[in-house]
Amino acid sequence: MLDMNYDGLGITIENYVAVVEIQRGPNNFFDTQMISDLADAFGKMEASDDVRAVVLCSEGKHFCAGNNFGSASGNEERADRKVEAGNPLYAAAVRLFDTNIPVVAAVQGAAVGGGFGLAVMPDFRVVCPEARFTANFVKLGFHPGFGLTHTLARLIGKQKAHMLFLTGRRITGEQAYEMGLADVLTDKENLRAEAIKLAAEIAENAPLAVASVRATMRDGLSAAVKTQTDHEFLEQHRLQQTADHREGVKAVAERRPGNFTGR
């Protein structure tokens, strides 16, 4: 029996499909510990004969509303990071990308910022019309992270990703499906069932062959995410020192456009 006891994660395994539920509702904000725990859990499941596919889902209203910029502890964690030491959050994210087990995300509500990055990590996404995706970093006076500047462009094309990054606009589940960001569009009530159905369809196949094909299809992805997150962290650290970033965090918290000055 796998030891899968992690605070804020619920994990069940049935018929070779593991359902990993983020239990930090309603917003399911992430932090370094949560991403590290996910990476640990995925690594254990990859090494187990009991799991052949994973469904990543969340309780509550949103899939993952990203990093909580309104949290004092979160702001302290970011402020304490030294450029020379790198970003432990992104080190954990790279470990997620490095595990060779098929993952299907069930996305309800918002996938925001780094939460958008987490939604792009899996192989497939099942969404409902109520899903919302936004890479709203520029509205925070910030640079995209979680490897999105590589992974999103790889998924939907550089031009579409570029537009989402520079506008910070929000797209719906239907729009995500139309542009190839989502693979299955269903109603909210059947979202998790459809994700489990897709994972079960993968899990019924020869596991060694599935792992081999997945490794071929994602060849070099974790290394590319490592390179990209190293760059993203440097840009984020630089922009974090600006007045525009402080204004952006305040403006997003107050649900208004930012009054940016380019300083």
As a whole number of angstroms, the distance between CA 241 and CA 13 comes to 44
Would you say residue 217 lies in a domain? Answer: no
pLDDT for residue 2: 72
pLDDT for residue 86: 77
Residue 83 has pLDDT above 90, yes or no: no
What is the mean predicted confidence (pLDDT) over 103-122?
Answer: 97
Report residue 39 as tokens: 């990476």
> Are the C-beta atoms of 71 and 33 separated by less than 8 Å?
no
**H or E element: which one contains 39?**
helix 32-46
For residue 24, the enclosing domain spans: 9-186+206-212
Which CATH number goes with the domain that contains 32?
A: 3.90.226.10
Residue 95 has pLDDT above 80, yes or no: yes
Q: How many other C-beta atoms can be found within 10 angstroms of the C-beta atom of residue 86?
A: 14
Report residue 208 as tokens: 């060694």
pLDDT for residue 27: 95
Would you say residue 242 lies in a domain? Answer: no
Would you say residue 55 lies in a domain? Answer: yes
Q: What is the mean pLDDT of the chain?
A: 94
What is the mean predicted confidence (pLDDT) over 112-140?
Answer: 97
pLDDT for residue 71: 59
Residue entry with tokens 């998790």: 192
What is the mean predicted confidence (pLDDT) over 240-255?
Answer: 95
Residue 68 has pLDDT above 90, yes or no: no
pLDDT for residue 223: 97
Number of domains in the chain: 1
Would you say residue 34 lies in a domain? Answer: yes
| DSSP 8-state assignment for residue 205 | S
pLDDT for residue 49: 95
As a whole number of angstroms, the distance between CA 80 and CA 102 comes to 35
Report residue 33 as tokens: 């510990």
As a whole number of angstroms, the distance between CA 202 and CA 184 comes to 15
